[in-house]
Amino acid sequence: MEIKKLNIIITLGFVAIIGILIAQLLWTRQAYNLEDKKFNQTVNIALLGVVEKLSGGKTSFTENPVQNISNDYYVVNINNEFHPAVLEHYLRTEFNRFQINTNYVYAVYNCHSDKMIYGKYISKHQEHPDSKVIKFPKHKNLVYYFSIRFPDKTTYLISSLRFWYLLTFALIIILLVYVYSIYTIIQQKKFSELQRDFINNMTHEFKTPLSSILLASEALTKQELIKENPKLETYTSIITDQSYKLNNHIEKILNIARHDASGLSLKSQKIVLFPFISQIADTIKQKNENLTIQIDIEENISIIADEFHLTNIIYNILDNSIKYCETKPGIIISSFKDSKGLYLKFKDNGIGIPAKNIPHIFDKFYRVNTKKSHEVNGFGLGLFYVKKIVQQHNWKISVENNPDEGITITLFAPF
């Protein structure tokens, strides 16, 4: 069902962006047509002003003297003779007045030679090369007239609409980014599902023979022959203990895979820290006789958290401090408050962590490559689980090496 919803959302988003892009292209085309129409009207008005000035205000035309022959070609009828220099002056004046800022070239009809005399190329930016030839066809029904062409009209119109083209280009970029993002999301989703299925299958395959080992070892411990032989009893207890430890690791992997798929559900409640941590410490001390845990926490300090997951956080931190210590393990648990929130610190006397490895210790399946790491069983999921729970509570966790030995892990819970 989730894949169906994702496909529907992707399709709707893709259709929406394509629709916006098509609409933008249509608007851009319409804007170009409107700009073209506006340009033609402006040129027509400017040329009418030139006609009026050339005729000295004495115009007697029965129809419009300005004819738009083609997209960039205009023919202007004048009833009397005029000088090309005067024409050029009036063209410059009128075009500047109406802000027609593009290149143009004009030609004047010579009735003596019955030909169009090529005029001057007027450039708004730089001199135009002489090699370029602009064609001016002769008009049959007129005697005193001139023609004008705008060879760069299309470029001029496009430059005046550069905002529209930039917006269209930006939409195309957004569409490409959207397609790439969707492709990446689908690939990541496939990879995540493949990884989760592999973990689930692997752990389930492990649990079947492990359950048989546990049943067999528990049955062995009840045998009189085993009870009478201390060496066999020790070996049997080792098998049982290690089987339970392996079972706990498998359960942890299953929980991580399950939580990655559905997310963690927290049941937050008020927890008084001193008795809560003391109870966890007493339980761990029963399994580790050489362990010393000092708790420096005020009795009335409390925190809002999920009891089950907070227990796992503290247990994982303390368990790592014990496993990665080459001497007699000693842990100091302390807390303090400031204006921002509550800080809970776990300081141990272990082997420490190389500074380059500290940013990666919360990654899934990551283990620091040391001699002690090879001796300690684990999958690199303990601190990953801790970081996940801390983030679910909107807390922060940090790790730093102590000046003498060991590390200090700090949990920060903002008010």
pLDDT, tens only, 18-27: 888 788 788 8
Residue 400: pLDDT over 80: yes
Average pLDDT of span 395-412: 90
Tokens of 178: 């959207």
Q: Which residue has the higher pLDDT, 205 or 103?
A: 103
Whether residue 318 contacts residue 346, with contact meaning beta carbons closer than 8 Å, is answered with yes
pLDDT in tens, 103-117: 888 888 766 666 666
CA distance 10 to 252: 34
Considering Cα of 348, then 352, then 353, then 355, what sign does the dihedral take? Answer: positive
Query: Rounded to two decimals, what is the model's pTM?
Result: 0.46
pLDDT in tens, 219-263: 888 888 888 888 888 888 888 877 877 777 677 666 666 665 555
Distances (CA, A) of 55 to 5, 46, 143: 75, 14, 14
Helix segments in 55-152, DSSP class H: 84-97
Report the Cα 19 to chain-centroid distance in Å: 23
Q: What is the pLDDT of residue 396?
A: 92
- The three-class DSSP label of residue 360 is helix
Banded pLDDT at 165 (limits 50, 70, 90)? confident
Q: Name, in order, each residue with C-beta under 8 angstroms of 119's C-beta and a sequence gap of 6 or more.
A: 84, 87, 88, 105, 106, 107, 108, 146
pLDDT in tens, 27-84: 888 888 888 888 888 888 888 888 888 877 666 666 778 888 888 888 888 877 777 8
Whether residue 343 contacts residue 335, with contact meaning beta carbons closer than 8 Å, is answered with yes
CA proximity to 21, closest of 173, 184, 179, 163: 173
Q: Which residue has the higher pLDDT, 221 or 3?
A: 221
Residue 129: pLDDT over 50: no
Beta bridge partners of 377: none
Beta bridge partners of 330: 292
CA distance 302 to 297: 10
Q: What is the pLDDT of residue 1?
A: 46
Q: What is the pLDDT of residue 131?
A: 47
Q: Which residue has the higher pLDDT, 13 or 335?
A: 335
Average pLDDT of span 323-350: 88
Domains of the chain: 2-160 (no CATH), 179-262 (1.10.287), 268-414 (3.30.565.10)
Fill in the DSSP letter of residue 125: S
